[in-house]
Amino acid sequence: MLDQLVSATINGLTSGATLFLVALGLSLIFGVLRVLNCAHGSFYAIGAFMAAVVWALLRAAGLPGYLIYPGLVVIAIAVGIVVGPVVERFLLHWSFSVEPLSRREVVQLLATFAVFLILEDGQKLVFGTQPYYSGAALGLLGATRIAGILHTNYQLLLVPLAGIVLWLLRLFLSRTRSGRCLVAVAEDAEVSATMGIRVTRMQTLSFTLGAALAALGGALASPAIGVTIGIGADMVVLSFAVVATAGLGQIEGTAVASILIGVAHSLTVFFLPILDTVSPYLIMLLVLIVRPMGLFGMQRQRSI
């Protein structure tokens, strides 16, 4: 019983780490653009597919398998740089001028959902409908026995890696000019514009970073899952649950909510499988009943 509890907790932490990266990108995009990006799961899926393809190419070329690890980071950056600006500038940016605000939010939700459908069909055209597997990459770093159960070191390293990403993002936001401009735009885009900050550039930057974080989550998760069409839809719904639980735009809160939901989901898989599918959303529901703005969310006030 104790061994199962320890194993379930470890599995929850490792799955929560990749979930955190995706939800962090979603939270960052909302914090700056005030857009709930339905297409976010597609960035996760693209990162996962690209990682699986790169792994297959490395094996076919006879190159060392260890190259996949730095390759995962390169894939995430490439997806962010290529896909992020294109989606934001050409498929979403026009919606920022829609008035009134209530109509703009509906338009943006529909626009990002349309982008999601386009990217899903694009994945079918490029990658096909057969699953991709790169599970052999899990074993390259060896395994560690914890509470009598073997866990791959690759998955164990996902937790500190997620912490490093959070630290680097916080460092970027607090120590760099671009980061401080992002924070200013997130607080008040209109005042930021009057201070000379190029708001449109910051919006594109935040969307690019968010897309890269989602792709990184997908790339890192790729060796542990069967990469197939549909994983993006599952992940974006789960990410929405994390962000809603934490509070929209709350970066550190997203980390806490990801751990909470990841561990709770893993525990239900082990001990109460009948609630496997709904456990993340039950947590979200309970939190929102008690705190409608999320665990760390605060009601915003705006003077007219």
> CA nearest 48: which of 125, 116, 113, 132?
132
State the pLDDT at residue 46: 95
pLDDT at residue 270 tops 80:
yes
> Would you call 96 exposed, middle or buried from its count of C-beta atoms within 10 A (0-12, 13-18, 19+)?
middle
> What's the whole-number average pLDDT of the chain?
89
Backbone angles phi, psi at 145, to 5 degrees: -90, 120
State the pLDDT at residue 79: 92
The C-alpha atoms of residue 73 and residue 81 are separated, in whole angstroms, by 12
pLDDT at residue 271 tops 70:
yes
State the pLDDT at residue 286: 92
pLDDT tens-place string over residues 34-70 = 888 999 999 999 999 999 999 999 989 988 888 999 9
> CA nearest 112: which of 211, 35, 202, 49?
35
b or e along 194-220 (b: 16 or more beta carbons within 10 Å of the residue's beta carbon)? eeebebeebbbbbbbbbbbbbbbbbbb
Percent of the chain with pLDDT over 70: 97
pLDDT tens-place string over residues 204-219 = 999 999 999 999 999 9
Q: Mean pLDDT throughout 240-259?
A: 89
Q: Where are the domains of the chain?
A: 20-229
b or e along 229-238 (b: 16 or more beta carbons within 10 Å of the residue's beta carbon)? bebbbebbeb
State the pLDDT at residue 303: 38
pLDDT tens-place string over residues 221-238 = 999 888 999 899 989 999
The C-alpha atoms of residue 107 and residue 147 are separated, in whole angstroms, by 51
Instruction: Give the pLDDT band (50/70/90) at residue 178.
Output: very high
pLDDT at residue 180 tops 60:
yes
